Amino acid sequence: MTGMDDLRYGVIGTGMMGLEHIHNIAAVDGARVTAIADPSEESRDAAVAAVGDPDLRVFADHRDLLAAGDLDAVLVATPNMTHHPILMDALNTDLHILVEKPLCATVEQCQEVVAAAEHHDGIVWVGLEYRYMPPIARLAEEVAGGAVGDVRMVAIREHRFPFLVKVDNWNRFNRNSGGTLVEKCCHFFDLMNLFADDRPVRVLASGAQDVNHLDEAYDGEVPDILDNAYVIVEYAGGRRAMLDLCLFAEGGINEQEITVTGDVGKAEAFVPEGTVRVGTRADRSVRVEQVTDARVKYDGLHHGSSYLEHLDFLAAIRSGSQPAVGLRDGLLSVAMGAAAHRSIDEGRPVLLSEILGEQPPGPDAESQAATPRAATT
């Protein structure tokens, strides 16, 4: 892509999220979808109708799309278990890549993609778009600006409806999705890392499948995905984060409540309410703001975050800058989910070094995260 020509997207995977991205791209100035690929005729037909361009190139196989040329970027929005082979093929081109979360369904697959991308000329961007929700983005600005002081704790609550139905019900089984704490919660682990601004070292989790999908069966097999969990994450510098997840909690106002607390104060974001609250310990004052982003031209399924993500993706391509949400972010968010699943399965805390296959950085980092701060003073 040169000058101010439109960025030409090829969209691989045109199910629910693929269509979501197609609608977002249509609202972005300087971008258009010129090719799509999906093995499902029904999904292809839906994408053709959504794009509405008689010159749209349509493929059943992603490899044919990649070989067709006349593209600047590809967006991968296929089921989780297909990300790895598609990304390995895409990395053999010079195309820019935006891959929907999670990066891959397993840590090992993520690591292979990271290694393959070392010699790739284009940008590889991971679609952890919750960072771009306007109230969460404002929360990040407040925290980075020192509103809470030295961050000590991050608490994230997601209480919402069960998983939606996807093509061929692929998201009903851990082997396809990576598990609930990878599939859904990679968003929240990424936000924890963003706010903590440190290296996660240990995970302790408790969770189960207690309510959802127990009366379903596919080819005689009952879904095995968790529908609730608590997860604690400890960081090298002593910061802590917690996730409270419930997927049978439709009766609330906000799906996400995010709190960051430091030695100076506390800041909170509420979605979809769109409110940010910042409180100060010294005078117990609270500042409340209703947050929107005037740049958003399409709200979509995630409150404008995917639209804003595409703006940054396009800007990074035009400027030649690094992705704002890169492969390391994607890898860590999957590794933290995998560690949480192992913690539940084995009933013990799990070190990230176990999951990543790395040597622990030394006794200080691991022990500091496991030791209450008061005990070190």
Average confidence (pLDDT) over 199-211? 98
DSSP 61: S
What is the pLDDT, as a whole number, of residue 377?
A: 27
* pLDDT greater than 60 at residue 364: no
* Predicted structure pTM score: 0.94
Mean pLDDT, rounded, of the chain: 94
Name the CATH code of domain 7-130+318-326 (choices 3.40.50.720, 3.40.190.10, 3.90.1150.10, 3.40.50.300). 3.40.50.720
Dump pLDDT digits (tens) for 309-347. 999 999 999 999 999 999 999 999 999 999 999 999 999
* pLDDT greater than 90 at residue 94: yes
Q: How confident is the model at residue 358 (pLDDT cuts 50, 70, 90)?
A: confident
pLDDT more than 90, % of the chain:
92
255 close to 249: Cβ distance less than 8 angstroms: no
Q: From CA 199, how far away is CA 246, in angstroms rounded?
A: 26
Q: How confident is the model at residue 360 (pLDDT cuts 50, 70, 90)?
A: low
Average confidence (pLDDT) over 75-83? 98
User: What are the angstrom distances between the C-alpha of 333 and each of 107, 218, 234, 316?
Assistant: 10, 29, 14, 22
Q: From CA 190, how far away is CA 200, in angstroms rounded?
A: 11
Name the least confident of 165-179, 272-286, 356-370: 356-370
pLDDT more than 70, % of the chain:
94
Q: How confident is the model at residue 362 (pLDDT cuts 50, 70, 90)?
A: low
202 close to 366: Cβ distance less than 8 angstroms: yes
* pLDDT greater than 60 at residue 308: yes
b/e per residue 58-73 (b: at least 16 CB within 10 A): bbeebeebbeeeebbb
Q: How confident is the model at residue 42 (pLDDT cuts 50, 70, 90)?
A: very high
Domain limits of the chain? 7-130+318-326, 132-298+328-370
- Type of residue found at 309: E
* pLDDT greater than 80 at residue 371: no
Instruction: Enumerate residues 6+ apart whose C-beta is below 8 A from 112.
Output: 84, 88
* pLDDT greater than 60 at residue 216: yes
* pLDDT greater than 90 at residue 359: no
CATH number of 132-298+328-370: 3.30.360.10
